Structure 1
Amino acid sequence: MNKYELFQARWNFSRLVLCNFLALALMGFWLWPTANIAFTHFDEWLFNLLNHPLGESAVWLDIWTVASMRPFDIVVGLILLSLLIKGDWVIKAVHVRAATFGFVAILMLLLIVRTLFDKGLKHLGLQHSSPSMVVDGALKLSNFFPNLPGYLDLKDSSNQSFPGDHASVLLIWAMFMTAFSRTVGQRVVIWCLALLFMLPRLVAGAHWGQDDYIGGIAMALLALGWGYYTPFAARVSSFMVRVTAPLFKPLSYLPGVKNMSVVRYSEV
């Protein structure tokens, strides 16, 4: 198998158009006043369902407080990365390095999409505050733990919560991994993890549901479409595999590390 089978070697216009159409359709539906009111009512119910139990159990409160801290995002990132580079789980070992660089390339596109989203929303005056700041009776984690050190950075509120950045990264990872998955079991694990790691921001009230299932999905679809269904990921991945080969060579002599698929194989 070569790079042309790992990523799209040429423009896949049908899939690209589909990704863009779905993203724009989601945003259009969200902007429709009647649908937006329905989303808001649903999200208020969802927030109360997830947030109110925080006041009923100290253990439950502690779990979601830890999960809502910025350092926990590092743990999540390591889990997702380990599954991405685990050879022969979803992605074949020989292609792990190329796939990793391809994923990073798509994340770069996601950053561009997010920047454009931000500018557009501000220009149109469509930004909104998170539920923890506007819903009556919201339980804010920072009120329970007012003396947490700043470096823990408890994420439970935002003046600009749309779209969900955290969710978009999880969703693009899930979509990317699903594109290479071969079994139902793999897809179940992938999407269960993505949804599980999206929950902390929803429980804490840093995001509305629509920030994730509208904004997060729309951004992920745009980044996936322009990254995976064009030659972009294939070309960036191929280039990065070539230029980083000298950096990986010394790692191939280190015990333990040398057996990692991302180090051991470099074929595109």
Structure 2
Amino acid sequence: MHATRLITILLLNALGIVLFLSWYLPPDHGFWFALDKTIFFGFNDQMVDHPAFALLVAITNFRGFDAVSLLAMGALYYSFWRGETPVGRRRLLLIGISMLLTAVLLNQLGHLLPVKHSSPTLYFENVHRVSELTGIPAKDASKDSFPGDHGMMLIIFACFMWRYFTPRAFVLALSIVIVFSLPRVMAGAHWFTDIMVGSMSVVLVGLSWWLLTPANDTLISWLDRSLPGKYKATS
């Protein structure tokens, strides 16, 4: 590994650790709590004042809406798939498999952090639940919201777009992260810091060692040799 690559990994690890500790160590999470509270009540009050906004929040937090985020990621992935050769398509499939395995692993590791707290809709009293305001069974609460699972998966997807595809694909993936992680925050199912601190700190530490080293490429090569198919690697 080149020294500059190692330095980059260590800096990303330091950033992730500092980000987490800036939230974890201060009493009541320091300035992060004030920011979380402001964001939560800003959206929570708007849902009462603007029923159309409440309906939007409810629809985008309905369980079935998660399929839309999968379609958005799939469409971006397919834009590369359709222009590839059969060998290239096999590689894209293997990258996708490695991405899913990485997401599952990092999600499990993220829940080993010494943190467990409820979403703002369960933490604060006398708040508005979008499911009650609209009658739509939307996800607007969680007994263990840190780190944000949904947000972490989206961020991991964006990082894989950066590593294996194009800068434009990365920018589009970042827009997918924002569009599809924001509804959880608007509904109060997650604190802003569940994603900004929880998900980001896990990704900065874990994914830097995985994508900036040969680790994931080694996994892809192993999958290529091991999984059946007409175009599998022979050595």
Category of TM-score, reference length = shorter chain: 0.7 to 0.9
1:209-261, Cα deviation, whole Å (9 max, x unpaired): 11000001112223422321222211222233344452xx6xxxxxxxxxxxx
1:167-197, Cα deviation, whole Å (9 max, x unpaired): 11111111221334545x5444332221111
Residue 17 of structure 2 is matched in structure 1 by 24
Mark the CA change 1:23 to 1:209 in structure 2 (over 3 Å): closer, same or farther.
same
- Choose 159-168 or 73-82, whichever is displaced more: 73-82
Normalised by the length of structure 1, the TM-score is 0.73
Residue 208 of structure 1 is matched in structure 2 by 191
The question of whether the paired residues in 1 share the 8 Å contact of 2:54 and 2:134 is answered with no
With a CA cutoff of 8 Å and minimum separation of 6, indicate the structure with the bigger relative contact order.
1
Q: CA deviation at 1:114?
A: 2.7
Q: CA deviation at 1:99?
A: 4.0
What CA distance in whole angstroms lies between the structure 2 residues aligned with 1:97 and 1:45?
Answer: 47
Indicate which of 229, 235, 243 corresponds to 2:218.
235
Task: After TM superposition, list the pairs within 5 Å mapping 1:248-263 onto structure 2.
Answer: none
Q: CA deviation at 1:67?
A: 0.9
Residue 93 of structure 1 is matched in structure 2 by 84
What CA distance in whole angstroms lies between the structure 2 residues aligned with 1:15 and 1:100?
Answer: 28
Residue 145 of structure 2 is matched in structure 1 by 161
Structure 1 unaligned regions, length at least 5: 1-7, 149-153, 250-264
What CA distance in whole angstroms lies between the structure 2 residues aligned with 1:78 and 1:93?
Answer: 20
Normalised by the length of structure 2, the TM-score is 0.83
1:44-93, Cα deviation, whole Å (9 max, x unpaired): 1011222222123333222221110222112211211221232189xx73
Residue 196 of structure 1 is matched in structure 2 by 179
Mark the CA change 1:200 to 1:114 in structure 2 (over 3 Å): closer, same or farther.
same
Number of aligned residues: 230
- The alignment partner of 1:197 has SS state of helix
Specify the code of the residue in structure 2 equivalent to 1:205: G
Identity of aligned residues (%): 25
- Choose 71-80 or 128-137, whichever is displaced more: 128-137
Mark the CA change 1:34 to 1:72 in structure 2 (over 3 Å): closer, same or farther.
same
What CA distance in whole angstroms lies between the structure 2 residues aligned with 1:234 and 1:169?
Answer: 19
RMSD of the TM alignment (CA)?
A: 3.0
